[in-house]
């Protein structure tokens, strides 16, 4: 049985609760053990590195150091947490001097032996797609999905876990579940990140463009692997529609929710009833046996 240190960050227990629940449920089902990093702290999100790069590295390095003590690689669902944790891992490996600085900041040892991995990467690496197909209880046949990767899993190159222009990890997993993956134009565009909160005129405009592209593609839903993207596309969907006079009703799912659904995990158990854009109806259709 594979075992990872699990880093939920600040969102997976709160605004991204579905992501946390679905990740843990899916991993349990697939036999991947998750050990939550005790007393973990915030990774600094999109704020720390804008103010002080050392702060960003230090905050993430502490979590990584705790995982390293336990001898585990870290599985990270949140794309922002992943990106910052990976940056810390790479920084200590960059040079002995850099490592000494970071270790001094956190007052712990971190050699970079414990690696930061996005949950998408963990699943893409450990799943045999043929075996996965055999495990599917509710095939997603007929479900038209656009996969949305955003920035933090695909850029910059040294941190990215998938291709910068045409990533495919999520596509492969969802396609194996029977879903139809549609091409679209916003696969790796930025959702606006924290601008939706700090500068809504800008941030929500960015979110709106992605929703518009998803709508144009003819997809039933959007799959994502980032709680920040989810927050913007799901929670801000009504606001974007109002601000730009559009009419949306596009459910947004964490890819782990769709994976869990296909594997027969109860959608409520994964918190799928806690979305802003109603998400249960589409899921229940497949729980009842999908498109006939």
Partner 1 sequence: MKKVGVFVCHCGSNIAHSVDCAKVAETLKDFPNVAFSTDYKYMCSEPGQELIKKAIKEQGLDRVVVCSCSPRMHENTFRNCVAQAGLNPYMFEMANIREQCSWVHPDDMEKATEKAIDLAKMAVSKVCYDEPLEKSYSPVTKRALVVGGGIAGIQTAIDIANNGFVVDIVERTPSIGGKMSQIDKTFPTLDCSACILTPKMVEASSHPNINLITFAEVEKVEGYVGNFDVTIRKKARSVDMSKCTGCGTCWSKCPTKVPSEFELGMSMRKAIYTPFPQAIPNKPVIDREHCLKFTKGICGVCSKVCPAGAIDYTIEDELVTERYGAIVMATGYQLFDASVYGEYGYGRYPDVISGLQFERLINASGPTMGHLLRPSDGKEPKNVVFIKCVGSRDENKGKEYCSRTCCMYTAKQATLVRDKIKDSKVYVFYMDVRTPGKGYEEFYNRTTEKYEANYIRGRVSKITQEGDKLLVHGEDTLLGRPVKVEADMVVLATAMVSNPDAAHLAQLVGFSYDKDGFYTESHPKLAPVETHTAGVFLAGACQGPKDIPDTVAQAGAAAVKVTALLSKDKLETEPSVSVVDQKNCAGCGHCVNICPYRAISLETIQERVNGKTIERKVAHVNSSLCRGCGACTVTCRSSSISLKHFTNKQILAEVDALCLQ
Partner 2 sequence: MTLNELQQQGAMATETLEKLSQVEARKCYQCGKCSAGCPVAEYMDIMPRQVMRLVQLGLTDEALKSKAIWLCATCDTCSTRCPRNVDIAHEMETLRILAKRKGIVGEKDIDKFHNVFLDMVKKFGRVYEVGLIVGRNVTTGKLFRDVNYGLPYLSKRKVHLLPEKVKAKDEINRIFAKAEEYALKELKEAENK
> Rule CB under 8 A: which residues touch partner 1?
163-166, 183, 185, 216
Q: What is the spatial distance between Cα 237 and Cα 192, in angstroms, rounded to a whole number? A: 13
Which residues are registered as beta bridge partners of 32? 2
Q: Which of 172, 182, 163 is nearest to 132 (CA)?
A: 172
| Size, binding site for partner 2 by CB under 8 A | 55
Backbone angles phi, psi at 110, to 5 degrees: -145, 115
Nearer to partner 1 (CB atom), residue 113 or residue 166? 166
Cis bond before residue 125 (omega within 30° of 0): no
Q: What is the spatial distance between Cα 46 and Cα 94, in angstroms, rounded to a whole number? A: 22
Of partner 2, partner 1, none, which one does residue 216 interact with (CB within 5 to 8 Å by kind)? Answer: partner 1
Least distance in angstroms from the C-beta of 163 to partner 1: 6
Nearer to partner 2 (CB atom), residue 164 or residue 175? 164
Q: What is the spatial distance between Cα 78 and Cα 120, in angstroms, rounded to a whole number? A: 10
162-191 mask for partner 2 (x: CB under 8 A)?
--x-----------------------xxx-
Q: Can you say whether residue 178 is alpha, beta or left, with left for phi > 0 and alpha for psi between -120 and 50 degrees?
A: left
Residue of 77, 192, 251, 260 interacting with partner 2 (CB under 8 A) = 192
Nearer to partner 2 (CB atom), residue 132 or residue 146? 146
Q: What is the spatial distance between Cα 79 and Cα 150, in angstroms, rounded to a whole number? A: 9
Q: What is the spatial distance between Cα 119 and Cα 139, in angstroms, rounded to a whole number? A: 22
Q: Which stretch binds partner 2 (CB under 8 A): 6-14, 89-97, 117-125, 128-136?
A: 6-14
Of partner 2, partner 1, none, which one does residue 244 interact with (CB within 5 to 8 Å by kind)? Answer: none
Residues that bind partner 2 (CB under 8 A): 10, 13-15, 17, 39-42, 44-55, 57-59, 62, 101, 104-107, 151, 155-157, 164, 188-190, 192-195, 197-202, 205-206, 209, 235, 274-276
């Amino acid at each position: 049985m594979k075992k990872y240190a699990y880093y939920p960050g600040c969102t997976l227990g709160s605004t991204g609760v579905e992501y946390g629940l679905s990740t843990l449920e899916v991993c349990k089902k697939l036999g991947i053990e998750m050990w939550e990093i005790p007393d973990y702290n915030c990774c600094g999100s999109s704020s720390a590195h804008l103010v002080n790069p050392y702060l960003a590295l230090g905050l993430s390095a502490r979590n990584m150091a705790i995982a390293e003590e336990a001898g585990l690689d870290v599985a990270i669902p949140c794309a922002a947490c992943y990106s910052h944790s990976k940056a810390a891992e790479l920084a200590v490996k960059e040079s002995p001097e850099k490592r000494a600085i970071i270790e001094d900041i956190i007052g712990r040892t971190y050699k970079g032996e414990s690696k930061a991995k996005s949950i998408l990467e963990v699943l893409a690496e450990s799943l045999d797609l043929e075996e996965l197909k055999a495990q599917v209880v509710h095939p997603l046949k007929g479900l038209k999905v656009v996969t949305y990767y955003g920035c933090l899993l695909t850029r910059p190159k040294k941190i990215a876990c998938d291709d910068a222009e045409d990533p495919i990890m999520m596509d492969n997993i969802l396609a194996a579940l029977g879903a139809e993956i549609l091409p679209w134009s916003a696969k790796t565009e930025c959702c606006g990140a924290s601008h939706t909160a700090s500068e809504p005129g800008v941030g929500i405009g960015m979110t709106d463009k992605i929703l518009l592209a998803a709508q144009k593609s003819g997809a039933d839903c959007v799959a994502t692997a980032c709680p920040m993207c989810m927050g913007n596309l799901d929670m801000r969907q009504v606001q974007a529609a109002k601000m730009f006079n559009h009419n949306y009703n596009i459910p947004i799912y964490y890819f782990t929710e769709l994976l869990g659904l296909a594997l027969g995990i109860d959608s409520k158990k994964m918190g799928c009833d806690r979305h802003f854009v109603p998400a249960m109806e589409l899921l229940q259709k497949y729980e009842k046996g999908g498109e006939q």
